């Protein structure tokens, strides 16, 4: 499991906000006040993604480019596109 000292507050809040558990995916609400963004992650990839240092940078970049308050977006990370995100 990822070390709690290394994890930022943003990442801890993200993984604490599990919205929905599906058969193969878990949906997390991204902690932001500006828009509604959800991260849909393949359940067997959660630990790999949580330990990665790139997830927070990717999400903050997406948030900085999409500043419309009413916009809702869902990002899916599956086995096939995992390398693209990381």
Please give the structure tokens belonging to residue 28: 């997390």
Task: Give the residue extent of every domain in the chain.
Answer: 9-85
Q: Return the pLDDT at 63.
A: 77
Taking the model in full, what pTM does it have?
0.78
Alpha helices, DSSP H, located in the chain: 9-16, 46-51, 54-65, 82-85
What confidence score (pLDDT) does residue 2 get?
A: 45
Region 39-62 average pLDDT: 85
CB 39 within 8 A of CB 50: no
What average pLDDT does the segment 22-31 reach? 92
pLDDT interval class at 54 (50, 70, 90) = confident
DSSP 48-68: HHHH-SHHHHHHHHHHHH---
Interval 64-78: pLDDT, tens? 776 655 567 888 888
- Residue 73 near residue 35 (C-beta atoms within 8 A): yes
């Amino acid at each position: 499991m990822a070390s709690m000292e290394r994890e930022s507050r943003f990442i801890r809040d993200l993984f604490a906000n599990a919205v929905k558990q599906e058969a193969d995916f878990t949906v997390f609400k991204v902690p932001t006040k500006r828009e509604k963004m959800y991260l849909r992650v393949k359940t067997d990839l959660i630990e790999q993604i949580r330990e990665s240092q790139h997830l927070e940078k990717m999400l903050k970049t997406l948030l900085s480019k999409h500043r419309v308050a009413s916009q809702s977006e869902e990002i899916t990370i599956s086995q096939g596109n995992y390398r693209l995100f990381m």
